[in-house]
């Protein structure tokens, strides 16, 4: 099938923001495709050529693409750079540059989806000497045959920024609609395989039955189940009934797969880090059965038996060279806490059963291979849970995890089934640059505070609105201050001089285009007004980004 047909779909998708329309467009297109093309379009529609579980990537920088575009249209690289700057995007720059291209592509043969897909995959495989030239040659072969719109989406796909507003949810719905299958079935298949190529093709060829047969495969990483901040123990434990409460270790989460004789280690972002941790591979080989499995645990770095900071483990895992030396300097310890597959998939079993299986299969006679410390919590022994928490903190761990004992493992889910209960939430000192007045009888108070961090030029860049954690007296105090510092007010929004510093706790840092910093905070809570701090004491965006990178 011609690539131009997919490009027409991209154009249609880019021209609407309505989710239902997008779903309809993709679904109609899918119906026209044969099996093989369906598989490729399942990925290309998301602007990728590798499934989410794969750590392979196209890996081409903007400069290289600009060079190829310059050659394809017969202009200078500077001219391409200027066009990208003017248009704000390589794709739009291509439209502009290609329209000026003298002899258009009338003589060349049309690009096909197969050819584009295979060429893009080839790019990831090229390394070694003269690799730049070989990459350019492949990109050029595509670009010189491309129409202007084809070039627009080819370049964007190569740079992994398709910008058509299509995410996993829309593709899932479109597959469900195209083949008349329940969304839930498609969602489950996607969650287990992390591979829209497989899901789309199976849906087309085998329908519901085929999708239901898809399952976890040791060797292919699964998105981990995530944790949410816990409410107070006396609230959450009665709600759960029976909870498995475990020490929360401050390390890196590992998902370890054994498939026949091969052991692979993945991070929570599904990155394969097997090469950096040879001694962990050995531990698994020695202390777990030689069966196919997927287990999860936390690895921490230790010195003289004491846990070291998270930074130490991060360096160890990111290490590419001198791994042997690092093994000696930073000994690692494992604490396993879940099993997703053992001979057969286990994720539908309740956690209580999964934990038992884990206890059966892991030999914990060595110091390095452990199970997480745990107790079964019920409303009757909340004091024991509190004691586990305090003991964990004393031992330099982060706190405890509270997990519903009767729940299955749901990949990628962040919900109430798994909670974290930490000593102190992380905080940032942030500058108030504005706020929003409340509504109704709160209309006289600034109820929500726009907080910002310092960038490298010491300018404040907004990060979040914090609206919780303030009692009435503090709200009143802050509102008076805000009025004193008012620069302007429009509707309910007030902008103020940057003078008030708040200490903000939060559960997580997330990327967010809505705020100037490009990042935002989940669940920001005002902990304190830091009257002792001035603008230069405000935390930097650099710190925020480094905290974000540590956790991701």
Catalytic annotation, residues = 248
Candidate residues 152, 223, 248, 354; the one interacting with ligand AMP per rule CB under 6 A: 248
Q: Pick the closer one to ligand AMP by CB: 173 or 298.
A: 298
Question: Shortest distance, CB of residue 248 to ligand AMP, whole angstroms?
Answer: 4
Residue 398 in marked binding region: no
Which has the closest alpha carbon to 204: 439, 443, 402, 37? 37
Return the range that interacts with ligand AMP (CB under 6 A); candidates 8-16, 94-102, 141-149, 244-252. Answer: 244-252
Q: How many helices (H) and strands (E) does the chain have?
A: 20, 21
Please report the sign of the dihedral spanned by the C-alpha atoms of residue 385, residue 387, residue 388, residue 393.
Answer: positive
Which has the closest alpha carbon to 521: 475, 484, 466? 466
Counting beta carbons within 10 angstroms of the beta carbon of residue 107, is it exposed (0 to 12), middle (13 to 18) or buried (19 or more)? Answer: exposed
Residue 246 in marked binding region: yes
Which has the closest alpha carbon to 285: 326, 256, 255? 256
Residue 414 in marked binding region: yes
Counting beta carbons within 10 angstroms of the beta carbon of residue 298, is it exposed (0 to 12), middle (13 to 18) or buried (19 or more)? Answer: buried
Q: CB-hemisphere CA count at 13 Å for 179?
A: 27
Task: Quote the tokens at residue 236.
Answer: 């959450």
In the range 197-236, which residues lie near ligand AMP by CB under 6 A? Answer: 227
Residue 298 in marked binding region: yes
Q: Pick the closer one to ligand AMP by CB: 99 or 364.
A: 364
266 binds ligand AMP (CB under 6 A): no
Question: Shortest distance, CB of residue 407 to ligand AMP, whole angstroms?
Answer: 13
246 binds ligand AMP (CB under 6 A): yes
Candidate residues 39, 66, 150, 298; the one interacting with ligand AMP per rule CB under 6 A: 298
In the range 417-476, which residues lie near ligand AMP by CB under 6 A? Answer: 420
Task: Quote the tokens at residue 281.
Answer: 């591979």
3-state secondary structure of 97: helix
Task: Quote the tokens at residue 174.
Answer: 């479109």
Residue 253 in marked binding region: yes
269 binds ligand AMP (CB under 6 A): no
Per DSSP bridges, beta strands 262-266 and 508-511 are unpaired
Q: Pick the closer one to ligand AMP by CB: 264 or 403.
A: 403
407 binds ligand AMP (CB under 6 A): no
Candidate residues 153, 179, 284, 337; the one interacting with ligand AMP per rule CB under 6 A: 337
Candidate residues 249, 449, 506, 515; the one interacting with ligand AMP per rule CB under 6 A: 249
Which has the closest alpha carbon to 414: 544, 225, 271? 225
Residue 150 in marked binding region: no
Candidate residues 176, 203, 401, 432; the one interacting with ligand AMP per rule CB under 6 A: 401
Q: What residue ranges bind ligand AMP (CB under 6 A)?
A: 227, 246-249, 253, 268, 298, 337, 372, 401, 420, 551
Binding-site annotation: residue ranges: 246, 253, 268, 298, 337, 414, 420
């Amino acid at each position: 099938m011609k690539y131009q047909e997919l490009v027409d779909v991209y154009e249609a998708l880019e021209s609407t923001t309505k989710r239902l329309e997008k779903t309809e467009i993709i679904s109609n297109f899918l119906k026209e495709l044969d099996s093989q093309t369906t598989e490729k379009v399942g990925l290309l529609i998301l602007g990728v050529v590798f499934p989410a579980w794969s750590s392979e990537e196209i890996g081409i920088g903007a400069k290289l693409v600009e060079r190829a575009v310059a050659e394809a249209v017969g202009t200078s690289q500077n001219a391409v750079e200027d066009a990208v700057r003017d248009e704000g995007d390589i794709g739009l720059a291509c439209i502009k540059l290609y329209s000026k291209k003298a002899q258009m592509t009338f003589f060349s043969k049309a690009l096909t989806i197969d050819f584009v897909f295979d060429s893009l995959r080839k790019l990831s495989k090229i390394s070694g000497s003269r690799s730049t030239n070989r990459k350019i040659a492949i990109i050029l072969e595509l670009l010189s045959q491309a129409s202007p719109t084809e070039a627009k989406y080819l370049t964007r796909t190569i740079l992994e920024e398709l910008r058509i507003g299509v995410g996993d949810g829309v593709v899932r719905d479109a597959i469900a609609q195209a083949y008349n299958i329940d969304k839930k079935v498609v969602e489950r298949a996607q969650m287990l395989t992390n591979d829209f190529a497989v899901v789309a093709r199976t849906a087309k060829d085998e329908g519901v039955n085929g999708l239901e047969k898809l399952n976890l495969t040791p060797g292919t990483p699964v998105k981990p189940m995530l944790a949410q901040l816990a409410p107070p123990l006396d609230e959450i434990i009665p709600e759960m009934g029976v909870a498995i409460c475990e020490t929360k270790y401050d390390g890196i989460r590992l998902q370890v797969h054994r498939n026949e004789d091969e052991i692979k280690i993945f991070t929570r972002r599904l990155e394969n880090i097997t090469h950096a941790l040879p001694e962990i591979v050995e531990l698994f080989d020695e202390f777990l059965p030689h069966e196919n499995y997927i287990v999860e645990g936390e690895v921490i770095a230790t010195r003289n038996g004491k846990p070291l900071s998270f930074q130490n483990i991060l360096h160890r895992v990111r290490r590419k060279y001198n791994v042997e030396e690092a093994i000696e300097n930073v000994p690692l310890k494992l604490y396993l806490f879940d099993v997703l597959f053992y001979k057969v998939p286990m994720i539908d079993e309740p956690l209580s059963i999964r934990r038992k299986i884990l206890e059966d299969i892991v030999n914990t006679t060595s110091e390095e291979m452990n199970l997480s410390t745990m107790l079964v919590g019920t409303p009757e022994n909340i004091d024991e849970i509190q004691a586990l928490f305090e003991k964990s903190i004393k031992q330099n761990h982060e706190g405890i995890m509270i997990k519903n004992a009767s729940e299955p493992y749901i990949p990628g889910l962040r919900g109430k089934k798994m909670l974290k209960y930490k000593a102190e939430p992380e905080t940032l000192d942030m500058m108030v640059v504005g706020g929003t007045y409340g509504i109704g009888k709160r209309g006289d108070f600034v109820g929500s505070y726009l907080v910002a961090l310092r960038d490298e030029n010491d300018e404040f860049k907004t990060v979040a609105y914090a609206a919780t954690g303030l009692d009435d007296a503090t709200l009143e105090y802050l509102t008076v201050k805000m009025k004193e510092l008012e620069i302007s007010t429009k509707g309910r929004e007030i902008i103020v001089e940057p003078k008030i510093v708040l200490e903000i706790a939060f559960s997580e840092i997330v990327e967010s285009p809505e705020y100037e910093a490009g990042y935002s905070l989940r669940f920001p809570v005002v902990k304190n007004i830091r009257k002792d701090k001035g603008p230069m004491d405000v935390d930097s965006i650099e710190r925020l980004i480094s905290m974000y990178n540590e956790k991701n």
